[in-house]
Amino acid sequence: MIRWRKGRVERVRREWSGAVELEVAIGGADGTVRALAYPALVGRPEPGDEVLLNTTALAMGLGTGGYAMVVAVPDRLPPDPSGPGHLVKARYTPLQATVLGADEQGSPHHELLREADSLEGMPVIVADLHSALPAILAGLLAERPGSRVVYVMTDGGALPAWFSMSIAKLKEAGALAATVTVGQAFGGDLEAVTVHTGLLAARLVAGAEAVVVAQGPGNLGSGTRWGFSGVSAGEAVNAAAVLAGRPIAALRVSEGDRRARHIGVSHHSLTAYGRVALARAEVVVPELPGEFGARVAEQAAALGERHELVHIPVDGLHQTLAEAERRWGVRLSTMGRRLDEDLPYFLAAAAAGRHAAAVL
């Protein structure tokens, strides 16, 4: 259930596109907490404002979403929204929001998308985790600088795209052209009802040459074969294929995860691509060195019954990733592990980007 607190804003810590991080005093033993506000939903809190907080994620110690979330600034409500848009996202929750969908009748893009049915062979790189996004871009753009890449963010993790500092920094650096938020996710440059119309909007409205599809930050897993939000990766492969795109599957690989089911090729990838994805994809197998690389190749081989396995060298990708992190100001991290703490994870994602560049 939800944990509620009231507090007073002490100071603004920092802000990025669509989000403001605050220091909020809530009194008692709790003292001050980090809180996050989305001004488009609740207005922009200022020092001295009383705020209503949802402290559920903070109390649970979630690594990705460990903030108190500002639900309202009761004494200074934001103005009512104006303009077109009738897509309601986060439907029937206290913070449901109305957005203009690229595919809805009131959109200037409706006619373009109304009968749209093809991605015309555009590469669609599918990944399990949001943290793969900058690594995929690094691998792709190192081979094809200036390529226009759009991110289609699904709703398996965070719903607001504003939560992601990576998106903001990648766009600011020119590495990411735009974001399309689909399903219940919102806050992208374009909104769409489904992954299918999100892919079409990325191609036809945002002018994408390639698309990365992944859930937002904060994936959810239950330690069961089917109970994880990344199962949507298999569904994204199907969507890309039915729209005549070119599905490219990035494997989730780890050498540093403490959970056995994620060592080598994660069971998430084996299930999503091996069971959920009914359409054929190009599964990128990174050519990692040593016994660990042999293990990854052996585990990935089972996917060859349904998909085409594409073995991609990782030479130079470590340097490419480190340079991208420095140049773009993006922190490469997955499950709290940095680049050199779980290098195979990032190399596998970058290899998928490298392959996509080769087929552009």
- Residue 81 DSSP label: P
CA distances from residue 190 to 205, 247, 319 in whole angstroms, order as listed: 9, 22, 33
pLDDT at 130 over 80: yes
Tokens of 2: 């939800």
How many Å from the N-terminal Cα to the C-terminal Cα in the chain? 47
Concatenate the DSSP letters of all residues of 183-246 into one string. Answer: TT-B-SSEEESSHHHHHHHHHHTS--SEEEEEE-SS--B-SSSS-BGGGHHHHHHHHHHHTT-E
pLDDT of residue 187: 97
pLDDT of residue 18: 93
Dihedral of CA 183/184/188/189: which sign?
positive
Average of per-residue pLDDT across 51-66: 80
Measured in whole angstroms, the distance separating CA 88 from the mean position of its chain's CA atoms is 20
At a CB cut-off of 8 Å and minimum separation 6, what does 110 contact? 102, 103, 104
Reported as a single tens digit per residue, the pLDDT across 282-302 is 999 999 999 999 999 999 999
Please report where in the chains the tokens 């040459």 appear, as a residue: 209
Confidence bin at 30 (pLDDT 50/70/90): low
Reported as a single tens digit per residue, the pLDDT across 233-244 is 999 999 999 999
Residue 253 near residue 180 (C-beta atoms within 8 A): no
Phi, psi of 7 (to 5 degrees): -155, 175
pTM of the model: 0.95
Amino acid at 3: R
Please report where in the chains the tokens 């990708």 appear, as a residue: 317
In 10 A of CB 316, how many CB atoms?
Answer: 11
In 10 A of CB 242, how many CB atoms?
Answer: 16
Confidence bin at 352 (pLDDT 50/70/90): very high
Amino acid at 167: I
Note the helical H segments in the chain.
39-42, 56-60, 110-114, 132-143, 165-172, 195-204, 232-242, 267-271, 290-300, 317-328, 343-359
Please report where in the chains the tokens 């709703």 appear, as a residue: 155
pLDDT at 260 over 80: no
Query: In angstroms, rounded to a whole number, what is the distance separating the alpha carbons of residues 129 and 135?
Result: 11
Nearest CA among 2, 47, 328, 303 for reference residue 172: 328
More confident residue, 257 or 167: 167
